[in-house]
Structure 1
Amino acid sequence: MNLNTIAVLGGGPGGLYAARLLKRSHPDAEVTVYEQGLPDTTFGFGVGLASRTQRNLRQADEQSLDAIVSASHPHEMAMRVGDDEVRLAHGELLAIGRATLLSVLQRYAEEAGVILRYGARRSAGELAADLIVAADGISSATRGEFADEFGPSIAEGDGLYLWCGTEFALPSAVFTPVTTEHGTFVAHAYPYARDRSTFLIETDEQTWKLAGFDVSTAETPNGESDQTSLDYLQDAFAKTLQGNRLIGNRTKWLRFRTVRCRSWHHRNIVLLGDSAHTAHYSIGSGTKLAMEDAIALDRALLAADGLEAALDAYELERRPAVEHLQAIAERSMAWWDSFADRMTIPVAQLMLAYMTRAGKVTVERFAESAPHVVPAGLAAFAAVAPADVPAPGAITDWILTRPLVHSTHRFTGRDAPSGLRDTTRTARVTVTVRPWSDEAAAIVAGLPPAGVYWLEGPDDRESTLDRLELGERIRLATDALVVADVPAALRADAAAALASARVDLVAFTR
């Protein structure tokens, strides 16, 4: 395909990376990046790079990935509740300062022959390029300009979060909650340089309002940081901060926005990264998605004979992976939004619940990578010694055969007896809604008095995961025994739900 001119709107990581790849693949084309900001100004702190993302970037462009890795900071991961902590040894987790990442990508884009234009806003409608790549972020002006064609929908999360940082390197990434007089705040914090760490802090709306942050948010001008919140959170997380201060960079409370679009391209304009889609930061960064979009777009343009076919192929390849990640991310976001309700769970078991929260990781797989954590978590679940927990490979069956005593009930294993379904103390609940939706809240609020709630519904995996998550919501709201139907093929999901205290029993269906 002959492309003479390529315009990229947005000089973030996705736009710069796409420009470099496209210039390398189309060396005779004029590739220009238009960024309204200046090259040495950015907002944000660190960017995480998981091992799979690193592999994808290495296959696409080993040279730039080597430069990124050399400027990155490796770290492990921990979860701490009060004085109890578990740590995961993970040698492939990296983080890099956003400004540093942009500097690397700017350099490599220019080295490839990309023209970088800063300090002026340009719109897709005014550019006369053969291909226009709109990498202009979550508030994409391009998506808004052609809203009828792209068909965007944007859903806001229930919780609130803010990004800030501190001027020292944490010993590892850490997930840790603190409870103040107003409620619970949860920090996701990680080091990204020898003297810098990112702090992402979340809370629920009630706590946010009780702390007065609805007022401080409203009073903080755009482009400035909410110093009232930073001062409060600095005191709240003083132990984790080790006497260091929290710093802001346009830091204000936000609700996460999940962006979806009916189409990712229109004529010669294609959306990339956050302009096309977002997934909650707890499961994968927007930077990762945007750079992987760039790889797929470059590959599609090389393989197709025409632009329309190439953009169709790009969307056909990327959409299933993005939508799958968005589904996982929604579960993860809901889990974090309700984190405060789980703080009585022993920390090793809580780490197990965290790792399996979205259906992406099984208990068996986690046990293989964290042999010092999973036995402690499963021991807490089963009320046994860690030494009594079997090795990976036998864990799923072991979980399903653990006895349970619940009120007057005694069970020799976690597969519910069929006779329990039809007792007078059992309420059967058909679940066909997302577990943390308003409709699910109505179901929980309207539950009839019962000693047992038996959850039924469709047998596909997504519906089963929904049912198991709603089970946790019912367990948190009642003292009843909670049972969920699970297809026999999803034994691993059943085991994860049981070990993570989402349900008490499961009933296997064909």
Structure 2
Amino acid sequence: MKIACIGGGVAALYFAIAMKRRQPAAAIDIFERDSADRNSGWGIILREPMLEAMRRMDEASHAAILARAVSWDQIEIRHKGEVNLLSNQFGRSTGRHALVEVLRARAVELGCRIHYSSPASAADLAGGYQLLVGSDGIKSGCREQIGAAAPIVRVQSANRFIWLGCDKAFDRMVFDFQQTTHGPVWVHAYPFSADKSTFVVECAQQTFDGFGFGRRALSADLARLEGIFASLLGDASLTSLSDAPHEWRQFEQIRCDALHHEQMVLIGDAAHTAHFSIGSGTRLAVEDAIALADSLHQGGALPEALARYQRQRSEAVDSIQQQALHSMQWFDRIIEHYSLPLAAFSRAFLFRSLGQAA
């Protein structure tokens, strides 16, 4: 089978690996719009169910990923000057750039071809391939093509967030909620290497407007955030992938009622997104990739295989998206919980993805 992946992120790369493991004769081309040296991003969470699925699929890349991962066993909740330290909360993460490097190398080793600086569309590739895998991320053009045949459901967070890095490796996952003159500002931080951490800041629109965030060079916003989180950061500084105000965004949770149409199928963020507060975006991408490869390997006509993939993924994705939606909405309504004492606030926080306070 000749397969083209439109987009060269984690979903596409892992699908290519999984497909070559299942069918070594498959011919797979990956079209990545960016150059080979433009591989950026901060840390990503490595969920244990995902890692186990990766181990079963391909031990070589699994071992290489673990070698570049860091782990923690505590979550720290900071709220109104108090700290609640929760033990037995194991987690892992790695840098997105490190994960992509491992997956690129393994995909090429298995015989896949990666075409860098090669933006592609379904119209460009349809005649030369039997299957087109839409793996072009959250701003997917492939999704819009399939969306003409079936609804796309979008739910936007009321809050603003920005995904940053800092030059300090925390030894645990930290949620720091700071009260300011313009309202609460909070951060979700975790290490992803020996000397760096992901630092995701979020606040309500009213707070965003009150500080004037997004109206100037981003460096000014970073300086203000360093002041707000000084007790957590110490001497560490915050960094962004650019100095553009548009780095501040509102998260949009997306679900496609159809994951395939004709010879096109969607995986990863092109197919569905889940709010970053539950750390499952990479898990969805990898599990999509494995499910698609397995479904194709089971045989039958292409429409049958793609329909099987959609059936297999629907229930699992719906469950994760429902948890993510509850979590997103909890943060959207954080002012309802903010006056709680630390213990009660921590319980509400920990149970947020279940849609209940305790």
Per the normalisation by structure 2, the TM-score is 0.94
1:7–1:131 contact (8 Å) kept in structure 2: yes
**Where does structure 2 lack aligned partners over 5 or more consecutive residues?**
none
Give matches, 1:195-234, under 5 Å.
Answer: 195-216=195-216, 226-234=218-226
Equivalent in the alignment of 1:30: 27
**Where does structure 1 lack aligned partners over 5 or more consecutive residues?**
221-225, 360-464, 470-496, 501-510
Rounded Cα–Cα distance in structure 2 between residues aligned with 1:310 and 1:263: 14
1:44–1:163 contact (8 Å) kept in structure 2: no
Tell me the amino acid that sits aligned with residue 15 of structure 2: A
Partner residue of 1:248 out of 240, 256, 267: 240
Equivalent in the alignment of 1:284: 279
Q: How far apart are 1:156 and its partner, in Å?
A: 1.4
Equivalent in the alignment of 1:302: 297
Tell me the amino acid that sits aligned with residue 147 of structure 2: A
How many matched pairs?
Answer: 352
Q: How far apart are 1:278 and its partner, in Å?
A: 0.7
Give matches, 1:416-431, under 5 Å.
Answer: none
Q: Secondary structure at the match of 2:215?
A: helix
Q: Secondary structure at the match of 1:120?
A: coil
Q: Secondary structure at the match of 2:41?
A: coil
Q: Does 1:13 align with 2:10?
A: yes
2:44–2:279 contact (8 Å) kept in structure 1: no
- 1:71-110 CA distances to partner (integer Å, 9 max, x unpaired)? 0011232111244222233464111011111101111111
Q: Secondary structure at the match of 2:25?
A: coil
1:46–1:192 contact (8 Å) kept in structure 2: yes
1:14–1:291 contact (8 Å) kept in structure 2: yes
Q: How far apart are 1:210 and its partner, in Å?
A: 0.7
Give matches, 1:287-366, under 5 Å.
Answer: 287-359=282-354
Rounded Cα–Cα distance in structure 1 between residues aligned with 2:280 and 2:36: 22
Rounded Cα–Cα distance in structure 2 between residues aligned with 1:53 and 1:86: 28
Partner residue of 2:86 out of 77, 85, 88: 88
Q: Secondary structure at the match of 1:207?
A: helix
Rounded Cα–Cα distance in structure 2 between residues aligned with 1:103 and 1:152: 32
- 1:359-397 CA distances to partner (integer Å, 9 max, x unpaired)? 2xxxxxxxxxxxxxxxxxxxxxxxxxxxxxxxxxxxxxx
Q: How far apart are 1:170 and its partner, in Å?
A: 1.1
Choose 1 or 2 for highest CA Rg. Answer: 1
Q: Does 1:274 align with 2:272?
A: no
2:80–2:179 contact (8 Å) kept in structure 1: no
Give matches, 1:123-162, under 5 Å.
Answer: 123-127=121-125, 128-162=128-162
Give matches, 1:377-392, under 5 Å.
Answer: none
Equivalent in the alignment of 2:119: 121
Structure scoring higher RCO (CA < 8 A, sep ≥ 6) equals 2
Equivalent in the alignment of 2:104: 106
Q: Does 1:238 align with 2:236?
A: no
Rounded Cα–Cα distance in structure 2 between residues aligned with 1:174 and 1:230: 19
Rounded Cα–Cα distance in structure 1 between residues aligned with 2:132 and 2:11: 14
- 1:153-173 CA distances to partner (integer Å, 9 max, x unpaired)? 322111110000111101211
Tell me the amino acid that sits aligned with residue 251 of structure 2: F
- State the Cα RMSD in Å: 1.6
Q: Which runs of 4+ in 1 moved over 3 A?
A: none
